[in-house]
Structure 1
Amino acid sequence: MAQVARPGAGGRTPRDGDAVAGAGIIEAARNAFAQKGFHGTTTRDIAAAAGMSPAAVYVHHPSKESLLFQISRHGHQAILDAVRAAVVEHDTPTAQLRALVWTFAYRHAAHHTSARVVYYEAAALTAEHREVVDGLRDEIGEVMHDVLAAGQGSGEFRLDDIELIARSIAGMGVDVARWYEDGGPWTPEQIAEHQAEAALRMVVA
């Protein structure tokens, strides 16, 4: 008869404990990479921040690079899911672009620690992992490109170069992660509102 895992302290099963430990390591790695950079962070740094031994880290993750990959993949996938959801909630390209840019900017402010790691430590990924992350980044760009093309087709937008506009808008949002600080003069909502309006001024005659 198969044995059922019994809850331990706090009603957690061993599998629950593994999940909590794994999440703690991810959070510790994210903060360490953001503060020290990927190459400046050691496995010992991550283990200490997570309250574990260095050997315990390898139980959950085979390498420091695999931690970076998991953080990067999750970060890009979360942004992709969010902008897709923002677009489908609206019917016109103008409303879709506003919602997309608002969501994109908001996430880069509200999750600025993760975003810094995702964008500024990508060079440390292996070629295989970088391909996966770049694929997700391309999909995010395609969502933006499709909305801009729809707006141009409907006559709502006047664009000389869709690709240039798309990259300019995306770059504006990505850069938020570089300079945003918790407790600063602007909230994520204020930044998102400002960038959404700025994007519309870029495309609407």
Structure 2
Amino acid sequence: MSVAEETPGGEDMPWGEVTPEAARRLLVAAVEAFAERGYHATTTRDIAGRAGMSPAALYIHYKTKEELLHRISRIGHDKALEILRAAADGEGTAAERLADAVRSFVRWHAERHTTARVVQYELDALGPEHRAEIVELRRESDAVVRGIINEGVAAGEFDVPDVHGTTVAVLSLCIDVSRWFTTQGRRTPDEVGALYADLVLRMVGAQK
């Protein structure tokens, strides 16, 4: 399945704002190549060919293959953080906001499973500077979820002896959806999101 086919209803891809069009096509091609072959087995010629361009044309927009991966990873992690912050800043109890965060986060990882798999699992292929930047974004996402859980504990909604460990478990559970989700499976992205939201509320001992 191509990256374009992942997107139900013609919604914008995570890099819908990327311009020019050639740069966006290269990002889509790179995601497909990295997901299929892995970062290290993919060449710039592979990516350019998928985008219908020459390798020389690729270098006009991205100096290296690693720069392409960094751009993909940055856009994906920015989107992930946006999703979590929107839920955390919403109205409702800590339980309601945690459920919303998990539901939205899981839905994105299911709907964009090919893209999300590259975003989440190719971190070690980034250079030191770019890797440090992405790790910081991950820490911010961690802090958002940990903040909701801490609020729930303080309000007596949650029973969580280890907030840090539980936060890691929640995010890991959500991210892993991109590894196994398939559109030929039994559940839709919305259904998986709802299932995981319920599982996470059970995990934190949410009061019914």
Q: TM-score, normalised by structure 2?
A: 0.88
Map of 1:128 onto structure 2: 129
- The Cα shift of 1:118 comes to 1.2
Residue identity opposite 2:76 in structure 1: G
Map of 2:191 onto structure 1: 190
Residue identity opposite 2:179 in structure 1: R
1:154 equivalent in alignment to 2:174:
no
Map of 1:69 onto structure 2: 70
1:42 equivalent in alignment to 2:19:
no
Residue identity opposite 1:69 in structure 2: H
Q: For the residues of structure 2 that align with 1:67 and 1:131, how far apart are their CA atoms?
A: 16
Map of 1:24 onto structure 2: 25
- The Cα shift of 1:104 comes to 1.1
Length, aligned pairs only? 188
Q: For the residues of structure 2 that align with 1:74 and 1:109, how far apart are their CA atoms?
A: 17
CA RMSD of aligned residues (A): 1.0
Which structure 2 segments of 5+ residues have no match?
Answer: 1-18
Q: What is the SS of the residue equivalent to 2:20?
A: helix
Residue identity opposite 2:60 in structure 1: V
- The Cα shift of 1:200 comes to 0.5
The percentage of aligned residue pairs carrying the same residue is 41
Structure with max Cα Rg: 1
1:166 equivalent in alignment to 2:152:
no
1:84 equivalent in alignment to 2:80:
no
- The Cα shift of 1:39 comes to 0.5
Q: For the residues of structure 2 that align with 1:97 and 1:120, how far apart are their CA atoms?
A: 24
Q: What is the SS of the residue equivalent to 1:32?
A: helix
